[in-house]
Chain A
């Protein structure tokens, strides 16, 4: 994470109000951290809607289509087998597996796409932003990478909305552990 400003609150209403105010004042909201889902926070923080639905749709339809084609190729082309006198290309018999594979591809694909997009992978180290943010603290992180970031204004808003701590974090140029090559490619 590059230079950022973070403020933490002890209740969701304060966070929600502060997030709205930050956004209205032209700050760029990096992310908000809450121990549970807070209604309306997505809209308030201007979080872009996920595109996972598209991934699921494409993978689902693609998985279904390829499974239908595969079954037809197996049953009618590669190894024709008469089953109960039915035609070799018996589409109704292929539908259940087509459906299942469509669901499987959409489901597994969405989960994998989610992990890739959010850069989660086995063995990833956790970097807690703040103690208690998974328990009873609410935090908002503003991007301060831009040198024109107005720190005093951010502090003023934090104070107005009852933040119990705030700080501007300027992390040193650390060299994080290099992730696996495969993960770098997936990013």
Chain B
């Protein structure tokens, strides 16, 4: 915990310097997760590819959460988060990693995942034109290129403007951030429809894009809090209690936003009671996934909502870390509930592949982000908003 703002500038100059021992555990975790995932995939290819898709969507989502965090603050000219903006920037490094997993899942694993992929969806309608393998791959590459470009460009402009040799850099550029918020959100909607909703090609929900956004942003805030706590634990404190307080408020708000979107989607489907919409829930409930859905609501909303309601909890790093872990597990579970039933079918079960995928995502989240953090000064000393952020009072 800083509070003593001077320690922030002391570590700022050199960037973080971690010895191998502090990340060795993480590397072992990654190896363990990858082995477990591979073993699970050999035993049951369906499960294996579903888990590879899970890794891709989770990692890309966490990366995009970092990008959204920075873009929202830059577009709004907000300065409170400047002291720790290197953390979400580092999370953007997950975008290419997640993209690799997604490309792997849709090319090599495509026929295991998407029932319509080999011959196209067919039929006269728009869906028949949209869901064709060639077009699908072209779109996927475009989505990943859009995400990759903005991740690269936003990070580069941020580093350039804060590391000018004259000392004081320039304010964040709004144009790039605003462009991402517009273009990226359209891309995110289409991408989530293509990669996740088309697992069940007959089903559709017009709230899918915003639902996936709610998922990734809440999980991303939890990951951001965990990374900040990890750095703090290793002696690199960039968040003070006021920053924690506002991150806690954001996590509280986004958990509630997720619940709001989850319920809105479920209620519209329940109300209109159309076969092609209700199938999402009837399939899962008849296969016995109902309890998993209830647990994901408990972890993703009930726990953060009631725990983070008090001011004291939002200002306590220990409580925030625990709630963040719960929320991350909740969103992983939620993603499995989206992916597994249409691909694997059957009663809910979690095996080597799923556990391995979860471990791999956590390990890569830390390893990739810490690697990115090492490439620049931990605190953007040249940022004109740094002073405001250090004296921030919420």
Contact = CB atoms under 8 A, between A and B. Distances in A.
Decide whether A and B are members of one complex: yes
A177 interface: no
B86 to A, nearest CB: 25
A95 B271 CA distance: 12
Contacts of A179: none
Given A53-B311, A57-B309, A84-B273, A95 B391 contact: no
Interface of A: 39-40, 49, 53, 57, 84, 92-93, 95-96
A12 B75 CA distance: 31
A34 to B, nearest CB: 14
B266 interface: yes
Contacts of B273: 84
Interface string B262-273: 010011001101
Contacts of B322: none
B393 interface: yes
A92 B309 contact: no
Interface in B290-313: 309-311
Contacts of B263: 92, 95
Nearest to A85: B273
A40 B393 contact: yes
Interface in B267-286: 267, 270-271, 273
A95 B263 CA distance: 9
Which of under 10, 10 to 19, 20 to 34, or 35 or more describes the interface residues of B? 10 to 19
A92 B393 contact: no
A95 B267 CA distance: 9
- By DSSP majority rule, is chain B's interface helix, strand, loop, or mixed? helix
Given A84-B273, A92-B267, A92-B271, 13 more contacts: A39-B391, A40-B393, A49-B311, A53-B310, A57-B309, A84-B271, A92-B266, A92-B270, A93-B267, A93-B271, A95-B263, A95-B267, A96-B267
Interface of B: 263, 266-267, 270-271, 273, 309-311, 391, 393
A92 B266 CA distance: 9
A53 B252 CA distance: 15
Task: Find the residue from A39, A40, A57 having the highest chain B CB count within 10 A.
Answer: A39
B249 to A, nearest CB: 13
Nearest to A53: B311
Contacts of A49: 311
Nearest to B273: A84
Nearest to A57: B309
17 contacts: A39-B391, A39-B393, A40-B393, A49-B311, A53-B311, A57-B309, A84-B271, A84-B273, A92-B263, A92-B266, A92-B267, A92-B270, A92-B271, A93-B267, A95-B263, A95-B267, A96-B267
Contacts of A93: 267, 271
Contacts of A95: 263, 267
A96 B266 CA distance: 12
Shortest Cβ-Cβ A-B pairs, 5 listed: A39-B393, A92-B267, A92-B270, A95-B263, A95-B267
A3 to B, nearest CB: 34
A14 to B, nearest CB: 18
B333 to A, nearest CB: 22
